[in-house]
Structure 1
Amino acid sequence: MNATNDIYALDALCDLGNTRKESPVGGPWQDSTRVGGHLMRIELDQARCEGHGLCEEAAPNLMHLDDDAELIIDVPEVEGDDLAKAQAAVRVCPVAALRLA
């Protein structure tokens, strides 16, 4: 199985879409402000992130893991093709550390 198939298999297996918990007001999300128009913001809950790297595989032009396996969001505001990649990254995160707002 290749990396793309692994991502789709994990996405189908985990389908966390309906089980994600929203962060409480003042919670650990980096930024919860909604950007106007179709522009969306990638938000990371650093406390949840375990550095699996599946999000990086899904959207390498938007985020990467540093040398300490900490996720770095390189492009926090996305739209169009990048939005689709960000949505894929959110879906494959096994610990629900990413969301779009």
Structure 2
Amino acid sequence: MTTYAVAHLHTTSSHEDVVTYIERIQDTLDPFGGRFLVHGSPVEVVEGTWPGALVIIAFPDGANARAWYASPAYREILPLRTDHLSGDVVLVDGVPQDYDPRRTAAAIRATR
């Protein structure tokens, strides 16, 4: 099942370290099958507020996502981002191809 690394970066910066991080991140993703789906594209806020930028990276599965995040190559460049950008980063599993939210609703109803 696909796992996503999702970052909500509350601040943005064009600091030289951040640019270097962006230049180097793809090489850390490649061994784990990671690929960008969203990378700082403008968001259209239709509910609530959204300060900052959104990044979504897809991995083949959770094991690859966690291995990438813990990898020495990524750990080496991580401070280039975290020293200059604040935000939240989560890893989350996607849903299967045949996911039907009605089954989820039925399971919730069954537990009431």
- Where relative contact order (Cα < 8 A, 6+ residues apart) is larger, the structure is 2
More helix by share: 2
TM-score (norm 2): 0.31
TM-score (norm 1): 0.33
More strand by share: 2
